[in-house]
Amino acid sequence: MRIVLTALAPAFALILLAACSAPEGETALDRPIIPADAEITAPEDAYAAAPPALEALDAAFEAAARDGRRVAAIFGGDWCPDCRIFAGMLEIPELAAFVERHFVIVKIDAERTGELNAEALARYGYEGRLEGYPTVVVTTADGVVINRANAAEWRTARERSPQDVADWFHALITAPAPDETDRVAVAG
């Protein structure tokens, strides 16, 4: 009897894993597992090299609507160590593939050349400087904000792991909007 139970243990483990709750359309096994030794770079031009914010946002919302993804607008700057580390984490191949499958990423230089990128910030309902950088605002393809309450969570990215980033994005794949009236202007 003990031999049979031992032999069946892996099968029971797989059944239990499959039964774990995961966002609709995902299974617990779809959640990316990022290697603990994944190399993190801190690109020096992650935000300065970004295209003009409003054009990039318009293209992102169009792509998200077409592909059934959400938009993640990352307000940051190359002067900010946490912004650069967060951008570097998003370049880890396992994490990049997962995030790109579910989100359209738009990097926005929040303080391009030392001045606020006021138009992009205003589009997201922000006036002046943000609570912290990077601020990552996730919306549905039609502009409903999903995570206003924890958008500045990554201002401590240097204290976090790539797995934390993966888990955070995983939770936002199908997270409901807490307030349907909290919207970003979507062109078109």
Q: CA–CA distance from 115 to each of 109, 112, 128 (Å)?
A: 10, 6, 10
Flag whether 161 is in a domain. Answer: yes
- 150 lies in some domain: yes
Of 133-137, 140-144, 176-180, the least confident: 176-180
Q: Note the pLDDT tens digit of each residue in 106-125.
A: 999 987 655 667 788 888 88
Dihedral sign, Cα of residue 165, residue 166, residue 167, residue 168: positive
Residue 15 pLDDT grade (very low, low, confident, very high; cuts 50, 70, 90): very low
Within a domain: 15 = no
Distances (CA, A) of 96 to 37, 158, 162: 16, 18, 11
Closest-CA residue to 92 (of 49, 43, 45): 43
Question: Residue 74's closest CA among 120, 40, 38?
Answer: 120
Domain-located, residue 70? yes
Between CA 117 and CA 122 the distance in angstroms is 9
Supply the pTM of this predicted model.
0.80
Give pLDDT, residue 154: 96
Token couple for 166? 């993966």
Q: What is the DSSP letter of 91?
A: T
Residue 118 maps to a domain:
yes
Residue 179 lies in a domain: no
CATH of residue 81: 3.40.30.10
Q: How many domains does the chain have?
A: 1
Asked if pLDDT for residue 2 goes beyond 60, the answer is: no
Flag whether 73 is in a domain. yes
Q: Identify the three-state secondary structure at position 105.
A: strand
> Is 181 within a domain?
no
Residue with structure tokens 């295209």?
51
Supply angle C-alpha 119, 182, 84, rounded to 5: 55
What pLDDT score was predicted for residue 188?
61
Q: Say how far apart CA 72 and CA 69 lie, in whole Å.
A: 10
Query: Is the pLDDT score of 66 beyond 90?
Result: yes
Tell me which residue range forms the domain holding 77: 41-172
Burial 93-113 (b: 16+ CB within 10 A, else e): eebeebbeebbbbbbbbbbbe
